[in-house]
C-alpha cells in the first residue's frame, strides 16, 4: 500500500488502490434498488458513482468482484418459510439480476451466496468462494460498495476483517444503512471510509 506513516495530521491516510486491491460490489441486484423487494430508497443515486469506481478499477486492471444473493425459491430467509425477509433474489429472476444501468466489466467475477435452501448468508464470504478468489488474486485490500442491506454490508466487512483484509468502505456508493456509528460497533481495525474524491476518481 502507498501509505505514509509519518502523515503530519497524525491520522492514518486513506489507502489508495493498487495491484493488491480489489473492488467488491456487494449485491448490486435489482431487488436491492428502488422497486425491488428490499430496495433501499437512495439506491438509484448510487449508480453513477458505482460506475465511476468500476471504470477506475477496470482501467487500471485491478480485479473486480461482485457478490450476489442467489436464493432457491423456497429459501429459509423468506417470510413464507418463517424467515425475516420478503421473497427476494430468487435464482434466475429479474430481482436477482444486476441493475441494468451498471456497466459491468468483462471478466468480472461473480460470487453467489445464499444458495443453500436451509442457510442464509448475509456476508459475501459465508459459504462462498469469495475468500479463495481473493487469496488466489493475492488481494490484501478490498474497496467495498453496494446498495445491500445493513446486515449484508456489515457482515461482509466483519468477515473481511477476520480474514486480515484491509477494508475501505466507499461511502458515496454504499447504502446509508452502513453508517459510521455502525462501523464503530464492529472491529475498527483496518477499516477506512473513502469517497471518489479521496481516491482522485473522476465521474464515469
Region of 98-106, 110-118, 156-164, 195-203 interacting with Zn ion (CB under 5 A):
110-118
- Kindly tell me which of 1 and 117 has the beta carbon lying closer to Zn ion: 117
Q: Is 152 a catalytic residue?
A: yes
H helix runs in 61-143, sequence order = 130-136
Shortest gap between Cβ of 35 and Zn ion (angstroms)? 17
Task: Please pick, from the candidates 69, 141, 154, 174, the single residue that binds Zn ion as defined by CB under 5 A.
Answer: 69
- Kindly tell me which of 37 and 103 has the beta carbon lying closer to Zn ion: 37
Residue nearest to Zn ion (CB): 69
Q: In this structure, what C-alpha cell is assigned to residue 51?
A: 460506475
Marked catalytic residue, from 69, 89, 113, 171: 113
* Longest distance between any two alpha carbons in the chain, whole Å: 56
**Hey, CA dihedral for 55, 174, 39, 162, is it positive or negative?**
positive
What is the rounded distance in angstroms from the CA atom of residue 41 to the CA atom of residue 38? 9
**Residue 31, interface with Zn ion (CB under 5 A)?**
no
Shortest gap between Cβ of 77 and Zn ion (angstroms)? 5
What is the rounded distance in angstroms from the CA atom of residue 139 to the CA atom of residue 120? 26
Q: Is 2 a catalytic residue?
A: no
Instruction: Count CB atoms within 10 A of the CB of residue 151.
Output: 15
Point out the residues that are catalytic: 27, 113, 152
The residues of the shown chain that bind Zn ion, judged by CB under 5 A, are: 69, 114
Amino acid at each position: 500500500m502507498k501509505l505514509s506513516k509519518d502523515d503530519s495530521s497524525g491520522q492514518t491516510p486513506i489507502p489508495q488502490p493498487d495491484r493488491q486491491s480489489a473492488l467488491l460490489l456487494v449485491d448490486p441486484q435489482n431487488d436491492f434498488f428502488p422497486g425491488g423487494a428490499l430496495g433501499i430508497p437512495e439506491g438509484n443515486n448510487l449508480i453513477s458513482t458505482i460506475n465511476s469506481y468500476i471504470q477506475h478499477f477496470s482501467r487500471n486492471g485491478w480485479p473486480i468482484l461482485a457478490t450476489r444473493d442467489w436464493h432457491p425459491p423456497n429459501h429459509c430467509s423468506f417470510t413464507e418459510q418463517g424467515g425475516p425477509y420478503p421473497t427476494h433474489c430468487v435464482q434466475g429472476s429479474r430481482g436477482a439480476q444486476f441493475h441494468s444501468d451498471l456497466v459491468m466489466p468483462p471478466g468480472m467475477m461473480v460470487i453467489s451466496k445464499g444458495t443453500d435452501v436451509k442457510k442464509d448468508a448475509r456476508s459475501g464470504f459465508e459459504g462462498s468462494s469469495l475468500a479463495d478468489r481473493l487469496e488466489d488474486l493475492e488481494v490484501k485490500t478490498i474497496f467495498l460498495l453496494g446498495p445491500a442491506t445493513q446486515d449484508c454490508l456489515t457482515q461482509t466487512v466483519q468477515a473481511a476483517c477476520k480474514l486480515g483484509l484491509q477494508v475501505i468502505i466507499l461511502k458515496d456508493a454504499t447504502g446509508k444503512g452502513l453508517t459510521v456509528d455502525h462501523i464503530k460497533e464492529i472491529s475498527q481495525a483496518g477499516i477506512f471510509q473513502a469517497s471518489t474524491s479521496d481516491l482522485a476518481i473522476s465521474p464515469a
